Copies of this chain bind each other. A is one copy, B any other.
Amino acid sequence: MEIDYTNIKVIGFDADDTLWVNETYFRDAELEFSKLMAAYETANKVDQELFKRQIENLPFYGYGIKGFILSMVEIALELSNNSVSNETIGAILNIGKDMLNKPVELLDGVNEVLHTLSQDYRLIVVTKGDLLDQERKLKKSGLLDYFHHIEVVSDKQEANYSKLLNHLEIKPSEFLMIGNSLKSDILPLINIKARAIHVPFHTTWIHEQVVPNKPDNKKFETINSLVDLLPMLNKNRNDKHKR
């Protein structure tokens, strides 16, 4: 399969787990939380209950760390049958504050890739989650100057992307999205006739997992690392020059 990227003018990047580490911090936090709950339930059960509660709470709390903390507190009260200590509740709140203070750890090659692509394309960030937390990470990342626009959305469904492209006056056919989540960064774009390249992160939150698409329906490419983007788009530009 060959996909043609020659007419791409704008490239959108997901942020968490595409530009920098994120899911790892959530996994570490879940591990700490299951240790705090060890007196009441197995780690496995704690994980399951927390995941279920996060999904149930999405309409109230949305994505992001604050909702995650609140869900942990709810589950601690419930799994302990209202007998968990105040110290444990305090420890849960601290897990959250530690997450909000984490340094921003860029993934391999991010600086190089953005630097190179920013010379030929308009780059934007499309990220979901907590507005303040995403702004904090973007500032800490040192990457802000590469981007023409930052959009923090409350969800990444087709309608969110269509609205954004419309607002920024970008034609779907000229837009390429790069991200680690098939569900949030890839499939909605394919459905609105934009393009997308999948860069899986080693860990994916269950909520972001989807059934892999069938081979005959394969309308996007998958790469191992952001640095693979450069030859793909370069090759593409060379082809264009040859024609």
Copies of this protein, total: 2
Confirm or deny: A43 has a beta carbon within 8 angstroms of a beta carbon on chain B: no
Confirm or deny: A135 has a beta carbon within 8 angstroms of a beta carbon on chain B: yes
Complexed CA–CA distance, A154 and B154 (Å) = 14
Contact across chains for B87 and A86 when beta carbons are under 8 A apart: no
Query: Which residue of the partner chain B has the closest CB to A94?
Result: B74
Contact across chains for A97 and B131 when beta carbons are under 8 A apart: no
Confirm or deny: A32 has a beta carbon within 8 angstroms of a beta carbon on chain B: no
Within 8 A of B (CB), among A131-189: 131-133, 135, 149, 152-154, 167
Which bracket fits the contact residues of A? 20 to 34
| A87 contacts across to B, CB distance below 8 A | 82
Bitwise interface map of A from 71 to 93 toward B, beta carbon under 8 Å scored 1, else 0: 00110010010111111011001
Complexed CA–CA distance, A140 and B22 (Å) = 32
Q: Give A9 Cβ to nearest chain B Cβ, in Å.
A: 19
Contact across chains for B70 and A89 when beta carbons are under 8 A apart: no
Q: Take A62-B131, A66-B61, A131-B130 as given contacts and tell me if A73 and B96 are in contact as well, using a CB distance cutoff of 8 Å.
A: no
Interface residues of A (CB under 8 A from B): 60-62, 66-67, 69-70, 73-74, 77, 80, 82-87, 89-90, 93, 96-97, 100-101, 130-133, 135, 149, 152-154, 167
Subset of 18 A-B contacts with CB under 8 Å: A61-B66, A61-B100, A62-B130, A62-B132, A62-B133, A70-B70, A70-B93, A70-B96, A73-B93, A74-B93, A77-B89, A77-B90, A80-B86, A82-B90, A83-B86, A89-B89, A131-B131, A149-B167
